Amino acid sequence: MALQLVVLAAGEGTRMLSDRPKVLHEVAHAPLLHHALRAGLALGPARVALVVGHGGAAVGAAAREIVPEAAVVTQEERLGTAHAVSVALPEIAGAGGDTLVLYADTPFLREETLSAMQAARAQHDVVVLGFEAADPGRYGRLVQAADGTLERIVEWKDATEAERAVRLCNSGVICCATALLEELLPQIGNANASGEYYLTDIVGLARAGGLSCGVVRCDEAETLGVNSRADLARAEAAFQARARAGALETGATLTAPETVHFAHDTVLGRDVEVEPMVVFGPGVTVETGARIRAFSHLEGCHVSAGAVIGPYARLRPGAEIGEDARIGNFVEVKAAEIGAGAKVNHLTYIGDAEVGAGANIGAGTVTCNYDGVSKHRTVIGERAFIGSDTMLVAPVRVGAEAVTGSGSVVTRDVEAGALALGRARQETRPGLGRRLMERLRAARAERG
Ligand code: UD1
Ligand code: MG
């Protein structure tokens, strides 16, 4: 059955004390909004409507980056969750099927949970996602009938002491026929303790109309909402814990899992080994059997099977590391292909470059890629040997099996098999070193 998705993001997020809209704060290098949409989008909705608040242009733009066809509607006045959904109603009205309402600040809902809600629609007209709260606090409470069906939802402010004692809480996620939403939303009033239009009132209204309402339960961790910086930090920790467990489950070795930081989209193959203190930024894939050694930082890169990265390596966006290649300590690689078996082992910058298979890049080599205005490419052929401390002033090409002398500044192309030397010739003056030192020491003794 067709599904419409309504995502509420009009909240002000005051408790974040931020100039940035709350749902654009990031967990694992992706905005909360991205996480919140993930499970809903996995169900393949026909339409997606996002409700943003006043000044929500940035949120809307971020949503369209994730779902280009999303409708972004503005709720000028924040009059409650039912009001927010009614603002989105024109975008889904008549689309039929079911509508699922989600919050944009709830990042961890699982696709399986939402599927279970869809499945429960076979038994109930309205399905609400509930959870047993360790500390129910101010959540809305789910009041069940004797047969376990849902009778109504009562907001904390409006609840009696007996109702507040209920531990089963409302997550806010709700699913029903789009047509039913169209019918019931206009009937919701605001005569309650907050003077708000509560979406939760839809349950009581449906029951009064002889319809059936049910609860699908999930773990409290899944409904974790983010309202403060502390919540954001907790959400990050929860994400990292799951990502580490996931990596172990899929056959990666993490010697100190709690010190490895993942991004939302990190992919590790089987038998990948990750040493302590490694940070993955967004867009990293590491293939089978590669080894990421301690204190390395990787983002936007691809590491092929059998490669060894680090310790203390930095792979930046566009780094493509070939099979069995070696990237050693204090090496930075950006927008560069490193061929199979090539070695870049020490203190080197390779940017906007191509390094052929089996090439050896000596310590301290720099591809001088930037002239202050534009970037230029360096191309190094297969099995080339770049001597230590070579400055490759791009654009420049070094052919296959060519050699550059240590300390060379290479400004012109080097043909295959050639030796390029670009450095001052050495002069040696016998005895002058010792005499110079003696003179300096004598001068100091005189000064006292
Ligand atoms: C809501 C539920 C409560 C539930 C809790 C779970 C209602 C009436 N109450 O309460 O039962 O336990 O969530 O976290 O639905 N929003 C708008 N426009 C508005 C109001 C809210 O877009 O006018 C959005 C917010 O940005 C947020 C979500 O709706 O993403 C929930 O709003 P919030 O104010 O946090 O509702 P609660 O009072 O926490
Ligand atoms: Mg809330």
- Judge whether 110 lies within some domain: yes
What is the pLDDT, as a whole number, of residue 119? 98
Q: Measuring from atom 39 of ligand 1, which residue has the nearest CA?
A: 139
Q: Are strands 308-309 and 419-420 parallel, antiparallel or unpaired?
A: unpaired
Give how far Cα 13 sits from Cα of 25, 168, 238, Å: 10, 25, 21
CATH (domain of 81): 3.90.550.10
Q: Give how many domains the chain has, as a whole number.
A: 2
- Judge whether 431 lies within some domain: no
- Is 79 a pocket residue for ligand 1 (Cβ < 6 Å)? yes
- Is 75 a pocket residue for ligand 1 (Cβ < 6 Å)? yes
Mean pLDDT of 167-189: 98
- List, in sequence order, every residue forming a beta bridge with 192; answer none if it has no partner: none
- What ligand has the least distance to the C-alpha of 190? 1
Q: Which domain holds residue 20?
A: 3-223
What global pTM score does this model have? 0.93
- Judge whether 360 lies within some domain: yes
What is the pLDDT, as a whole number, of residue 12? 83
- Judge whether 148 lies within some domain: yes
Verify that 149 and 196 share a domain, yes or no: yes
Mean pLDDT of 30-52: 98
Verify that 216 and 260 share a domain, yes or no: no
Task: Tell me how far apart the alpha carbons of residues 319 and 349 are, in angstroms, rounded to a whole number.
Answer: 12
Verify that 111 and 149 share a domain, yes or no: yes
Mean pLDDT of 307-336: 99
| 12 Cα nearest atom in ligand 1 | 26
Q: Measuring from atom 37 of ligand 1, which residue has the nearest CA?
A: 139
Whether 448 has a pLDDT exceeding 90, the answer reads: no
Three-state secondary structure readout of the chain: CCEEEEEEECCCCHHHCCCCCHHHCEECCEEHHHHHHHHHHHCCCCEEEEEECCCCHHHHHHHHHHCCCCEEEECCCCCCHHHHHHHHHHHHCCCCCEEEEEECCCCCCCHHHHHHHHHHCCCCCEEEEEEECCCCCCCCEEEECCCCCEEEEECHHHCCHHHHCCCEEEEEEEEEEHHHHHHHHHHCCCCCCCCCCCCCHHHHHHHHCCCCEEEEECCHHHHCCCCCHHHHHHHHHHHHHHHHHHHHHCCCEECCHHHCECCCCCEECCCCEECCCCEECCCCEECCCCEECCCCEECCCEECCCCEECCCEEECCCEEECCCCEEEEEEEEEEEEECCCCEEEEEEEEEEEEECCCCEECCCCEEECECCCCECCEEECCCCEECCCCEEECCEEECCCCEECCCCEECCCECCCCEECCCCCCCCCCCHHHHHHHHHHHHHHHHC
| 11 Cα nearest atom in ligand 1 | 26
- CA of 141 relative to ligand 1 center, distance in Å: 13
Mean pLDDT of 320-324: 99
Mean pLDDT of 70-77: 97
Whether 1 has a pLDDT exceeding 90, the answer reads: no
Q: Provide the token pair at 232.
A: 């954001």
Q: Measuring from atom 26 of ligand 1, which residue has the nearest CA?
A: 11
Is residue 346 among the annotated active site residues? yes
- Judge whether 121 lies within some domain: yes
Task: Tell me how far apart the alpha carbons of residues 295 and 274 are, in angstroms, rounded to a whole number.
Answer: 10
- What pLDDT, in 10s, does the model give residues 199-239? 999 999 999 999 999 999 999 999 999 999 999 999 999 99
Verify that 268 and 396 share a domain, yes or no: yes
- CA of 172 relative to ligand 1 center, distance in Å: 7
- What pLDDT, in 10s, does the model give residues 371-429? 999 999 999 999 999 999 999 999 999 999 999 999 999 999 999 999 999 999 999 99
| 171 Cα nearest atom in ligand 1 | 6
CATH (domain of 314): 2.160.10.10
What is the pLDDT, as a whole number, of residue 398? 98
- CA of 127 relative to ligand 2 center, distance in Å: 19
Mutation test residue for ligand 1: of 35, 102, 103, 197, the one with most atoms within 8 Å of CB: 103
Verify that 92 and 187 share a domain, yes or no: yes
Share of the chain above pLDDT 70, in %: 100
- Judge whether 174 lies within some domain: yes
Domain end, chosen from 223, 257, 279, is at: 223
- CA of 258 relative to ligand 2 center, distance in Å: 30
- Judge whether 439 lies within some domain: no
